[in-house]
Structure 1
Amino acid sequence: MIHSNPLRGPADVADWVAEGPVQFGTHEVGTGDDGGPGLGGDGTTALVLSGSLDAEEHGDHAHWTLWCPKELPDHVRISWEFLPLEEPGLAMVFFAASGHGGEDLFSSALAPRAGFYPQYHSGDMDALHVSYFRHKHASERAFRTCNLRKSAGFELVAQGADPLPPAGDADGFYRMEVIKDGPRVAFSINELLLFEWTDPSAEPLRGGYLGIRQMAPLKAAYRNLSVAPL
């Protein structure tokens, strides 16, 4: 194991880097069938993440990103469990994130970031990101997909169907998985492969940082983050 975090509550992300108005909480996890399809409950708690600003009043500045402070290598399997609690909104994961020109993602040489989306997809950082549970806008809810984008540049490079139900129909936690193996990226939910993509460029993104992002007013629970070598 390269990195693991049970994500039982705010204390488990006390050293993570918050950009934007993120709010932390705790979700009580039941026993028995409450753990989700094929997962089983464990009677513990999970980390709840939401926004602290009103989305209607603050618009796109109500969203946020939360970074794991550990820089990760390439050739990894990243997994976590996700449970939508209240919608609308959108969930996203950044990986292989770094600053332009080899700068560290948190270098003072980079422009400040405060959760506003263009700072992440068209600024001075490079990353891959998967957007899933895309229930923010009516068009996203009407035809649900998971999208993989490469930035800087906001290039849509892969897309697949999103099997996640609305929050009211969610059957406990769902297991999310990203494979980052050199130029190859794959994304699965509950072991169902949704898309696979191979970067055709001469210099695909390698190791870097992992970040969680949500669009307000989504409220969601997370637990059992793990990063393992392939």
Structure 2
Amino acid sequence: MTFSIIARCARTGQFGIAVSSSSPAVAGRCAFARAGVGVVASQNVTDPRLGPLGLDLMDGGSSAAECRDALVRTGPFPEFRQLAVMDRHGTAAVWSGARTLGCHATAVRRNVASAGNLLANATVPDAVVEAFLASDPSQELGTRLLRAMCAGLAAGGEAGPLRSAGLLVVDRQSWPLTDLRVDWDDAPIARLADLWTVWQPQMHDYVTRCLDPSSAPAYGVPGDE
């Protein structure tokens, strides 16, 4: 039902995840990240509780592999779960339980991992990871994640039609730098890319407006001078 990418930007230290699925509101259930800590994708027959729990484990010093093993060992019904976990060092660990749906696969490299289930073919995660690694590291992490998802889609994507997608990126603050979602659409990855085009040029301005409004750019609304 789902394929995803988790990644760390070696240049900025940002963590991010992009995910798409045939089911609605995938990012609200599957995507979890915390600044300075890491990122977790909890998917297949999803248990959203595993995302915050995994981040807490890594915040307490667990590696990605230790985090994954703890979630599999202590979480209910691990045979139904698919996980991708990345720690603050950019090391990733994955899990696909025995009852992961359909054609499923994972791919792991330094600073990036991809996992999917009910895929059109088992090469999709490899295509996602290779596209991320081939992208320009000077670009925003969100741009690189979306290009990787497009590569996964071109490689076949999910076996059925995609309906939702999401992009979550954390930087230095306790809130997300980017949290964009398409919860029901016939072309959710394309719509997500459209949203990113609108959001990306101004996303850092919103951080400045929070931390130091006096130095923030004009708001661009009627009456603002």
TM-score, structure 1 normalization: 0.28
Q: State the TM-score, normalized to the length of structure 2.
A: 0.28
Q: Which structure's residues are more often strand, by fraction?
A: 1
More contact order relative to length (CA 8 Å, sep ≥ 6): 1
Which of the two has greater helix per residue?
A: 2
